[in-house]
Amino acid sequence: MQAEIIAIGDEILIGQTIDTNSAFIASQLNLHGIKVHLKRVIADDAQAIKQALDSVDPKTKYVFMTGGLGPTKDDITKKTLLEYFGGEMEFKPEVYAQIVKLFASFNREPKEVHRQQAFVPSSCEAIVNDTGTAPGMRFEKEGRFYFSSPGVPYETEHLVGDKIIPWILETQESGSIYHKTLITQGIGESDLAEKLSDWENSLPADVKLAYLPSPGLVKLRLSGHASNREESTKKVSEQIAILRHLLGDLVFGEDAHSLEEIVGKSLLARESTVAVAESCTGGYIGHLITKVPGSSAYFLGGIISYSNSLKMQLLGVKEESLKNFGAVSEEVALEMAEGVRKKCGSDFGISTTGVAGPSGGSPEKPVGTVWIGIAGPSGAVARKYNFGANRERNIRRSALMALDRLRKEVQKIEN
Amino acid sequence: MQAEIIAIGDEILIGQTIDTNSAFIASQLNLHGIKVHLKRVIADDAQAIKQALDSVDPKTKYVFMTGGLGPTKDDITKKTLLEYFGGEMEFKPEVYAQIVKLFASFNREPKEVHRQQAFVPSSCEAIVNDTGTAPGMRFEKEGRFYFSSPGVPYETEHLVGDKIIPWILETQESGSIYHKTLITQGIGESDLAEKLSDWENSLPADVKLAYLPSPGLVKLRLSGHASNREESTKKVSEQIAILRHLLGDLVFGEDAHSLEEIVGKSLLARESTVAVAESCTGGYIGHLITKVPGSSAYFLGGIISYSNSLKMQLLGVKEESLKNFGAVSEEVALEMAEGVRKKCGSDFGISTTGVAGPSGGSPEKPVGTVWIGIAGPSGAVARKYNFGANRERNIRRSALMALDRLRKEVQKIEN
């Protein structure tokens, strides 16, 4: 089955907001073998909405629309869908009951502007939204379904993920495309391509490989097409096994698993703990680790030692190390990692110290120079990297490299 | 003038990658009054690319394509554009010279796969890419320009921002749409709409207001249309002045300025410093502050005290406070903020302690309960918030609220 996504909103069209809803919807559909044929972003404009609906591909069975359902004047999607699909505005008590409940949870009462949200076109089925005031809507016309959900990402995630997709699956068989992604760290796209070229040339015609580089990571996605799910899964799984063999520990995970989740699972399985000593990453490693629910079981905390005096005072870095080698040095990275491990009483300590940029570089230590230290039960090691000139990429690459180094160290311990 | 954007890539279509390039291109075009009529995401598929090019709106003058230019097999854009626009592959020495230079900066030499990147269709102008191996391309057909750039965001940012837009501006007058955005913190969309309803109803017809909510922030964008830039700027500026008056210190900044930049500027202007004591935010506040270049001038560092023992040991939180009131309490938030201020010797200390979720909540302290403390030269205050049930939103909202509280405290000090 084929789907299309139409994101409605000037804020996306002018680039002020990044369209994450379409990615969410597409990934959900894809999991169930429904292929997204086209994504469009159009203006908050009745004519643009109608024109987009008129030009849906004839083979498309599901059209997902997001945006333009808020309580404010610039939101015109509901009115436009009423004009397009016909009917009249109808009050939905079950929608209003949910709005009242939502406000009660904040100790507030809905205002008139919120009550208006409970009116939807009589030509649609209202879909109760547990996370906001705007209900989702489902229209049907000539065997095609049109869904509308709000532009706020967590509301669309709820409506599409919890309500719309389950409804589709009840009326719809799952498809025959299967994707699997391996995530690699520490090797670039071209080097990967060279390493994999023989294998890639030998892939069956109905298995497709894609390289998806991002700062610090390259994802390899294999897609298999077949007449049924079992067949497509089998084709991809066979190739994934070979790929894992070829790449060894360059691969840290599969599909949507993040490096921080994998590291967390490894620590948890070994009942080990970690603490961080962050200079150039400024707290980003701590943030990545603590994004994962349950991370308090293995993450004790750490020290953001942005200034040299805090490196000495809180981590025990020696004054002569700073003086003789500078803050961005092997010695300081080691002392930071060992210091935080001791100070926090953790099994592992990781440290970063570098020149994130854009200024602060020198001929010996250009912008992008980063030392990463790992201290653990079997000693401490620091290594030097150069991640290039962009500050945000430097921070991200440093953090991912530190987590990947930690992953490898932790996985050396018997489970 | 009107533009369209076509992002090419299965990874975007299946939702594995979020399309940030289109947002970047649109915001750049918009700055210069070029209106984006439509954004599309299509598959890495020759037919889909040709079909998209065939269905460009007749009024569109510029078509921006991104993606599918990598050195690997799944990248088919260049080949397809050769078929579509005609000509043959041609070696471009100036492109290859740049590739050699790029590799030299990593102490490496390009391989054959990289040399292949220097071949482009003879029907286009190659645009040298200073940040990667794939050159940009410019085709012209019947008075319309087609630009192609790689899918890697920083390469497209470079090619579009540094090369393509300047080239367009030399051949093209600037337009007559002007946007200005105010960013607010601490008030929801509906409450804002109510507060602004009289003013909104009195807006001139050619000035448009949009509400752009995201976790912790609501942006208000005013767009003015007029026959020339001076006129549209004037219309918007007048309304922005009124809006600032109506909203007072709910507004923390304009346009692309982030809260962390505004806070940084305020601290810098007062030669003040800050340190953080993060529990539920796990390093995210430190990360936001240090994303800003030059933040080492006002950010000393801090302590991520995820565990209770580190709260006591590193921040001096009293054992009886933890025992009597729990970690998520006014007392602990105050002791953390005061503790980190003292420990780090900063002018301000900020603290967060809360239940980020999804588990760990209780009837008295449900998931989303967060205490935020600010200690400064004139004393310390902690306040309680409830940010709802989603972990990632909780972390983000807590961090933004903490930064906004800091902003208000810092701005109280005479400059």
Residue B107 has pLDDT above 80, yes or no: no
What CA–CA distance (Å, rounded) separates B129 from B28? 18
CATH of the domain at A198: 3.30.70.2860
CATH of the domain at B392: 3.90.950.20
How far is B314 from chain A, CA to nearest CA, in Å? 8
Least CA distance to A178: which residue of chain B? B14
Neighbours of A207 (CB within 10 A): 18
What percent of chain A has a predicted confidence (pLDDT) above 90? 64
Residue, of A343 and B188, whose pLDDT is higher: A343
Q: A42 and B42: CB-CB below 8 Å? A: no
What's the confidence (pLDDT) of residue B166?
79
- Tell me, yes or no, whether B102 and B159 share the same domain: yes
What's the confidence (pLDDT) of residue A336?
98
Tokens encoding A161? 């993920």
Tell me the CA distances in angstroms from B50 to A222, A354, B40, one per residue in order: 25, 46, 13
Note if the bond before A358 is cis, omega within 30 degrees: yes
What percent of chain B has a predicted confidence (pLDDT) above 70? 97
Neighbours of A188 (CB within 10 A): 12
Residue, of A207 and A179, whose pLDDT is higher: A207
- For residue A172, name the pLDDT band (cuts at 50, 70, 90): low
Tell me the CA distances in angstroms from B183 to B96, B179, B254, B412, one per residue in order: 45, 13, 6, 20
Q: B290 and A283: CB-CB below 8 Å? A: yes
Q: A38 and B41: CB-CB below 8 Å? A: yes
Q: Give the end of a domain, one of A103, A138, A171.
A: A171
Q: A121-139 pLDDT, tens per residue?
A: 999 999 999 888 999 999 9
What's the confidence (pLDDT) of residue B136?
97
What's the confidence (pLDDT) of residue B336?
98
Helices (H) and strands (E) in chain B, counts: 16, 17
Q: Which of A396-400, B170-174, B232-236, B323-327 has the lowest mean pLDDT?
A: B170-174
Helix axes B308-315, B330-344, angle to 10 degrees: 40
Residue, of A353 and A393, whose pLDDT is higher: A353
Which among A179, A282, A356 has CB closest to B289?
A282
What CA–CA distance (Å, rounded) separates B208 from B360? 44
Contact (Cβ atoms closer than 8 angstroms) between residue A119 and residue A90 = yes
| Mean pLDDT, range B229-256, rounded to an integer | 90
What CA–CA distance (Å, rounded) separates B163 from B154? 13
- Tell me, yes or no, whether A361 and A401 share the same domain: yes
Which among B12, B154, B301 has CB closest to A305?
B301
Residue, of A393 and B304, whose pLDDT is higher: B304
Q: Which residue from A411, A409, A387 is spatially nearest to A399, judged by alpha carbons?
A: A387
CATH of the domain at A103: 3.40.980.10
What CA–CA distance (Å, rounded) separates A208 from B74? 8
Q: Which residue from B189, B186, B127 is spatially nearest to B160, judged by alpha carbons?
A: B127
Among A12, A14, A105, the residue to mutate for chain B (most B Cβ within 10 A): A14
Q: B190 and A284: CB-CB below 8 Å? A: no
- Tell me, yes or no, whether A382 and A325 share the same domain: yes
Q: B168-221 pLDDT, tens per residue?
A: 877 765 556 788 889 998 888 888 988 999 999 999 988 888 787 776 788 888
> Which letter does DSSP use for residue B205 in this model?
T
Q: B115-158 pLDDT, tens per residue?
A: 999 999 999 999 999 888 999 999 999 999 999 999 988 899 88
- Tell me, yes or no, whether B129 and B218 share the same domain: no
| Mean pLDDT, range A185-197, rounded to an integer | 86
Tell me the CA distances in angstroms from A184 to A180, A211, A346, B278, B327, one per residue in order: 13, 11, 27, 31, 38
Question: Left, alpha or beta for A360 (phi > 0: left; psi -120 to 50: alpha)?
Answer: left
What's the confidence (pLDDT) of residue A75?
83
What CA–CA distance (Å, rounded) separates B246 from B234? 19
Size of interface A-B (CB pairs under 8 A): 294
- Tell me, yes or no, whether A317 and A343 share the same domain: yes
Burial of B198 (0-12, 13-18, 19+ CB in 10 A): exposed
Q: Based on the structure, what is the number of domains in chain A?
A: 3
Q: A12-55 pLDDT, tens per residue?
A: 888 888 888 999 999 888 877 788 999 999 999 999 999 999 99
How far is B153 from chain A, CA to nearest CA, in Å? 9
Burial of B381 (0-12, 13-18, 19+ CB in 10 A): middle
| Mean pLDDT, range A314-327, rounded to an integer | 97
Residue A382 has pLDDT above 70, yes or no: yes
How far is B75 from chain A, CA to nearest CA, in Å? 8
What's the confidence (pLDDT) of residue A175?
56
What CA–CA distance (Å, rounded) separates A200 from A214? 21
Task: Write out the H or E segment, with its range, that includes residue A82.
Answer: helix A77-85
Query: Rounded to the nearest 5°, which phi and psi values hold at B69?
Result: -110, 10
Q: How high is the mean pLDDT of chain B?
A: 91
Residues of A in contact with B359 (CB under 8 A): 293-294
What's the confidence (pLDDT) of residue B221?
85
What's the confidence (pLDDT) of residue A174?
56
Q: B305-314 pLDDT, tens per residue?
A: 999 999 999 9
- Tell me, yes or no, whether B299 and B214 share the same domain: no
Contact (Cβ atoms closer than 8 angstroms) between residue B14 and residue B45 = no
Burial of A132 (0-12, 13-18, 19+ CB in 10 A): buried
Q: Which of A172-186, A225-239, B289-303 has the lowest mean pLDDT?
A: A172-186
Tokens 């909202």, located at residue: B397
What's the confidence (pLDDT) of residue A39?
96
- Tell me, yes or no, whether A129 and A206 share the same domain: no
Positive or negative, the CA dihedral B262, B265, B271, B275 is: positive
What CA–CA distance (Å, rounded) separates B196 from A267? 51
Contact (Cβ atoms closer than 8 angstroms) between residue A15 and residue B28 = yes
Residue A387 has pLDDT above 90, yes or no: no
What CA–CA distance (Å, rounded) separates A178 from A223? 6
Q: Is B10 on the interface with A (CB under 8 A)?
A: yes
Question: Left, alpha or beta for B288 (phi > 0: left; psi -120 to 50: alpha)?
Answer: alpha
Q: Which residue from A209, A216, A213, A223 is spatially nearest to A190, judged by alpha carbons?
A: A213
- Tell me, yes or no, whether A250 and A275 share the same domain: no
- Tell me, yes or no, whether A280 and A375 share the same domain: yes
Residues of B in contact with A276 (CB under 8 A): 283, 304
Least CA distance to B25: which residue of chain A? A15
Q: A267-301 pLDDT, tens per residue?
A: 999 999 999 999 999 999 999 999 999 999 999 99
Q: Which of A22-31, A239-248, A334-343, B145-154 has the lowest mean pLDDT?
A: A22-31
What's the confidence (pLDDT) of residue B22?
93
- Tell me, yes or no, whether B312 and B373 share the same domain: yes
- Tell me, yes or no, whether B151 and B239 share the same domain: no
| Mean pLDDT, range B281-295, rounded to an integer | 96
CA B363 to the chain's CA centroid: 36
What's the confidence (pLDDT) of residue B172?
66
Starting at the edge strand found earlier in the chain, the sheet holding A136-141 runs A125-127, A136-141, A144-149, A60-66, A2-8, A35-42, B35-42, B2-8, B60-66, B144-149, B136-141, B125-127
Q: Which of A185-194, A300-309, B95-104, B325-334 has the lowest mean pLDDT?
A: A185-194
Q: Give the end of a domain, one of A171, A188, A218.
A: A171
Contact (Cβ atoms closer than 8 angstroms) between residue B281 and residue B395 = yes
Q: B221 and A285: CB-CB below 8 Å? A: no
Which among B15, B23, B211 has CB closest to A18?
B23
- For residue B264, name the pLDDT band (cuts at 50, 70, 90): very high
Burial of B251 (0-12, 13-18, 19+ CB in 10 A): middle
Q: Is B391 on the interface with A (CB under 8 A)?
A: yes
3-state SS class at A263: helix
Q: Give the end of a domain, one of A126, A154, A171.
A: A171
Contact (Cβ atoms closer than 8 angstroms) between residue B56 and residue A192 = no
Query: Rounded to the nearest 5°, which phi and psi values hold at A65?
Result: -110, 140
- Tell me, yes or no, whether B406 and B275 share the same domain: yes
- Which of 226-285 (B) contact A at CB < 8 A? 276, 278, 281-285
Burial of B346 (0-12, 13-18, 19+ CB in 10 A): buried
Q: Which of A60-64, A104-108, A349-353, B325-329 has the lowest mean pLDDT?
A: A104-108
The number of residues making up chain A comes to 415
- Which of 357-376 (B) contact A at CB < 8 A? 357-359
Helix axes B284-291, A391-412, angle to 10 degrees: 140
Tokens encoding B369? 């309960």
Q: Domain range for residue B374?
A: 259-412
Residue A325 has pLDDT above 70, yes or no: yes
